[in-house]
Amino acid sequence: MLQKVEESGRLLERVRHHVEAIYHDTPIAMDHGELALALLELMGLDQHSDTRPAYVNHWSQRDALMITYGDSLLRDQEKPLVTLKQFLDDHTDGLLTGVHILPFYPWSSDDGFAVLDYSSVNEFLGDWGDINTIARDYDLMADLVINHCSGRSLWFENFLRGESPGKDYFFTASPQDDLSAVVRPRTSPLLREVETAEGTRHVWCTFSHDQVDLDFRNPDVLRQFVSIARQYLDNGVRIFRLDAVAFLWKVPGTDCLNLEETHEVVRLLRTLVEHAQPDALLITETNIPIQQNLSYFGNANEAHCVYNFSLPPLLVNTLVTGDCSHLKLWMMSMPPAQSGTAYFNFIASHDGIGLRPAEGLLSDEELDALVETMHRFGGHVSHRALENGESKPYEINISLFDALQGTTEGPDQWGLERFVCAHAIMLALEGIPGIYIHSLLGTRNDYDRVEHSGHYRAINRHQWSYPHLKAVLSSEDSIHARVFERIKALLSLRREQSAFHPNATQFSLHLGSALFGFWRQSIDRRQSVFCISNISDQPLPLALSDISLIGTDAWLDLIGGAHFHSRDEVVEVQPYQTLWITSI
């Protein structure tokens, strides 16, 4: 009994430490100990909660997630979440262990990221029973849209009326405040003027005027989100994606990005979630320059995973220029993730190809050339506001399949091979892979959705008729079927290689600017895989002696099936071909 008291006492003190660090400089009077106890109670943790071991890897090479909207697949007379589950069961052959369902709550704009009610499932999609059904068979990632909510939510309506809950939930500022340094990803005015029961107020809107920023200086807001996290755990959520969390804490006069209080909120949520559900994970969605992004690992005490946001722009740039120099330098600069943490790798998403994470890695001229190439392939570009009032490209909006249909010279015949090459590289890199449903299916730019919605991001948010998709995937002549089968084949190979564990060793190979290569070694050192991709449109020779193969071993390319018996062999690597070479 004494041991239990000591352990739970440490947990309470740990939570209190987080609370004190968050609220050390806020004007609201509070008892930090009482707030800590209240948070433990909301999460279902009490005086007898045991501490949990830290630094545990809850993942392996068998893990891969699909990223999708709840309504990406539609069938008449059926809730989309039911259709989604049917697709996962019938078509992914057990190769996907998890699914990230983008916001499935009632919403007013931004395709779900202006949440009306965090506690409900959008009735068009289904209900909590459908969410639970998916979560029973797949690791479920859900968005905790923590920075803002809908300007039409009950909370915000109550804010306008001066009623609770919501009266003090939203961050306000004065137009006279020094806001010149504030970093944000949009060009719309930061402050929205509204009339409230207490007079004119100016509410803070990092993204849009329908996405009103919450004020975490009010501990009641924190209580609400801890309660929401508990509800999500109870409904099967095991991975929390902390949406736009970098903007959470605001201090006028600063850039209001990645402030220490924001990091402390992440640490607090980590403590609460991992004690309530030991295998639950936090992943931070921080689309910012690389060093700022990496800071959300903390000392292995913040996010379990961070998005590898620099990977999409660098990999696309590599494949359209035929030069891997920047990608290789970036990979060499990336520190190995500590035990208990991992990178979350992706190369396409519901948003677009973010350009901020490439700042400092690609020159302005190279970024301009990338933007121009994507324009030629049918893409659009979203902008963000700068301190001087000007704007700068922030994001390329294009389907990945169209983005890789050619090079800087224009479209060519290598689109499919280039697209598969991108996924072969991503699947072999250190980290956990996430594959957007429209990459899995090779979906093209959807211009009709752009026109209908008025938003560039809709270009990569196609909705498939599920009966039509089934017919397409059963056709041998379909490009979508060919993409789907080839990516599934890569996933099948990946999950059997211990060298592809998300935390396995990774070293760069130096094979010139047109051959991109790296070496993975399993944690137990029993397997090595040499991953080499020709990122050019010309065949290239690869001397096996250049990749340090042991001469006494026989080697196999896992993808193509070729055997190698001498390190003196020279292999011709075809345009956009990838080799995964391991000993046999």
Annotated binding site for substrate: 110, 148, 241-243, 350-351, 457
User: How many other C-beta atoms lie within 10 A of the C-beta of residue 574?
Assistant: 14
Q: Which whole-number Å values give the CA distances from 57 to 83, 303, 369, in the listed order?
A: 32, 13, 40
User: Amino acid identity, residue 399?
Assistant: S
**What DSSP character marks residue 575?**
T
Residue 246, Cβ density class (10 Å: 0-12 exposed, 13-18 middle, ≥19 buried): buried
What are 17's two structure tokens? 């430490």
Q: Reduced to 3 states, what is the DSSP secondary structure of residue 128?
A: helix
Q: Give the span between the Cα atoms of 64 and 491, in whole angstroms.
A: 8
Whether the Cβ atoms of residue 308 and residue 355 lie closer than 8 Å to each other: no
In the 3-class helix/strand/coil scheme, how is 336-378 assigned residue by residue?
A: CCCCCCEEEECCCCCCCEECHHHECCECHHHHHHHHHHHHHCC
Question: Which of these, 80, 483, 475, 106, lies nearest to 88 by C-alpha position?
Answer: 80
User: Amino acid identity, residue 7?
Assistant: E
Determine which one of 71, 243, 323, 402 is catalytic. 243
The neighbouring-strand residues paired with 397 are 380
Whether the Cβ atoms of residue 353 and residue 313 lie closer than 8 Å to each other: yes
Provide the annotated binding site: 110, 148, 241-243, 350-351, 457
In the 3-class helix/strand/coil scheme, how is 105-125 assigned residue by residue?
A: CCECCHHHCCECCCCCCCCCC
Residue 243 annotated in active site:
yes
Q: Give the span between the Cα atoms of 448 and 477, in whole angstroms.
A: 25
The neighbouring-strand residues paired with 226 are none
Question: Which of these, 246, 274, 273, 272, lies nearest to 260 by C-alpha position?
Answer: 246
- Residue 48 backbone phi and psi in degrees, to 5: -105, 10
Whether the Cβ atoms of residue 131 and residue 85 lie closer than 8 Å to each other: no
Q: Nearest 5 degrees, angle CA 28-CA 30-CA 31?
A: 165
Q: Reduced to 3 states, what is the DSSP secondary structure of residue 568?
A: coil
Whether the Cβ atoms of residue 72 and residue 88 lie closer than 8 Å to each other: no
Q: Give the span between the Cα atoms of 16 and 24, in whole angstroms.
A: 11
Residue 550, Cβ density class (10 Å: 0-12 exposed, 13-18 middle, ≥19 buried): exposed
Residue 199, Cβ density class (10 Å: 0-12 exposed, 13-18 middle, ≥19 buried): exposed
Question: Which of these, 416, 582, 583, 562, lies nearest to 573 by C-alpha position?
Answer: 562
- CA 102, 339, 345, 577 torsion-angle sign: negative
* Residues with catalytic roles: 243
